[in-house]
Amino acid sequence: SQQGEEDPQALSIQEGENATMNCSYKTSINNLQWYRQNSGRGLVHLILIRSNEREKHSGRLRVTLDTSKKSSSLLITASRAADTASYFCATAPNQAGTALIFGKGTTLSVSS
């Protein structure tokens, strides 16, 4: 079952622009993770933010987490054509052990 909902479903931007994707979830979590998937390939882990953290950075990525609103956002700054991919948030519900539940994803297209 899916718990995360990403918004928007699709996003098209120019190189150099910033891209923001949002994720909402339903149950309490111990952490939230973001993954990238290039077309038809495996997923790559981008960043993990724990439930007691509010913001985290990794290179051009910035993730925020608001547990009161059950939402997270992923910001990619100065986007590149190589950032074109699908981005998924994945939640680790408190009662689910190691299992992740993936949201529907945002498809990002960056044109040069």
Partner 1 sequence: DTEVTQTPKHLVMGMTNKKSLKCEQHMGHRAMYWYKQKAKKPPELMFVYSYEKLSINESVPSRFSPECPNSSLLNLHLHARQPEDSALYLCASSQEGSGVSYEQYFGPGTRLTVT
In the complex with partner 1, the residue whose CB is nearer, 17 or 30, is 30
In the complex with partner 1, the residue whose CB is nearer, 42 or 112, is 42
Angstrom CA distances, 96 to 10, 14, 43, 105, 111, stand at 29, 39, 20, 21, 39
- Least distance to partner 1 from the beta carbon of 71, Å? 17
- Least distance to partner 1 from the beta carbon of 76, Å? 18
Angstrom CA distances, 64 to 11, 48, 96, 104, 111, stand at 19, 10, 22, 19, 26
- Least distance to partner 1 from the beta carbon of 27, Å? 13
| Contacts to partner 1 by CB under 8 A | 2, 30-31, 33, 35, 40-45, 48, 88, 92, 96-105
Using CA atoms, how far apart are residues 87 and 69, in angstroms rounded to an integer?
21
